[in-house]
Each structure stands twice: as C-alpha cells, then as structure tokens.
Amino acid sequence: MLNRTHMLPFQVQFKAGAPVSEQVVYAVKKAIITGGLQSGDKFPSVRILSQELRINPNTAHKVVAALVNEGLLAVNPGIGTIVANARPSTRQQRSELLGNEVERLVVEAKNLQLEFDDVVQAIKQHWNRLS
C-alpha cells in the first residue's frame, strides 16, 4: 500500500464518554513519563494527530494548545512542535496523572464493599509482582 500513515509516539485507548482531548493529553503525558516521548522529540502536527486518531481537528488543536500551555511541548518556528520537558517536574504532577484511575478503583472497591485495608493489600500485591 502506498498509503502514508504515521505512527504516533504514544497510544490512546479511547473510552466512551470522557472528553476526547483529555484522553489524548493524558496519553501524551504518560508517554513522556515512561520515556516514549523525550525532550527534543518531534511531536506530530494537528493534521497528523487528527488523521491518525480520527479525531476532530479542533480537538487535536486543543490537545496541542493544552500541552504547550503546560510547558510539555514547545512550538519552534521552522521545526514544528517538539517535546519540551522530559517529565513533569514534580512528584505531585506525576501522581496527579493517576487521579482518574484511583477514583475508579475507589468506586469499584466501595461497590464491592471492601475495606480500605483490603484495597491497600491488593495494591501491595500487584506492586510487588511488578517490581
């Protein structure tokens, strides 16, 4: 196939209902933290983001603007958009990335009528398994 496609340096698994731009911003931040995107890496243009993710160009624009605003991307005339900051500067910012997941975990745990300690225990198990 001659079809030109561009691999994106991050992955988005879209979930119904949550704002698309937030989901993409989240995926980019995650890639920056895990090293998939590093300082100086080129960031895809609005058109490519929109084409590859099949999202509205206005949404893609919003994503880039939000990331530039947070200092994670920088627009260099002539070069395009590049990754400015290898990782969010503080631990606080990094842990904020977990916000949605933690909320979901707590909701699920409460639905299952688990105690706080049960949840901590479950997290510990997984943490140790993966480290």
Partner 1 sequence: MNNVIETQGLTCRFGKTAAVDNLTLAVPEGSIYAFLGSNGAGKTTTIKMLMNILRPTSGKAGILGVDSTRISPRELAQIGYVSENQRLPEWMTVAQFIAYCRPMYPTWDDAFCKRLLAQFDLPLDRKLKSLSRGMKVKASLLTSLAYRPRLLVLDEPFTGLDPLVRDEFIRGMLELSGEGNWTVFISSHDIDEVERLADWVGIINSGSLKLAESASDLQTRFRRIECVVAESTRLPAAPPPSWLIPEIAGHTLRLVENNYQQGASEAQILSLFPGASQITVTPLSLRDIFVALARTFRITG
Q: Using CB under 8 A as the criterion, which residues of the chain lie in contact with partner 1 when the complex forms? A: 1-5, 14, 16-20, 46-47, 50-51, 53-60, 107, 111
Q: What burial class does residue 91 get, using C-beta atoms within 10 Å of its C-beta: 0-12 exposed, 13-18 middle, 19+ buried? A: exposed
Calculate helix-pair angle for 46-53, 57-69, nearest 10 degrees: 120
The least distance separating partner 1 from the CB of residue 6, rounded to whole angstroms, comes to 10
Query: Among residues 40 and 57, whose Cβ is nearest to partner 1?
Result: 57
DSSP 26: H
The least distance separating partner 1 from the CB of residue 100, rounded to whole angstroms, comes to 12
The least distance separating partner 1 from the CB of residue 105, rounded to whole angstroms, comes to 14
Interatomic CA distance for residues 43 and 29, integer angstroms: 12
The least distance separating partner 1 from the CB of residue 94, rounded to whole angstroms, comes to 26
The sign of the CA dihedral 68, 47, 26, 78 is negative
Query: Among residues 59 and 85, whose Cβ is nearest to partner 1?
Result: 59
Query: Among residues 104 and 124, whose Cβ is nearest to partner 1?
Result: 104
Cα dihedral 121, 126, 130, 131 in deg (nearest 10) = -10
Query: Among residues 25 and 55, whose Cβ is nearest to partner 1?
Result: 55
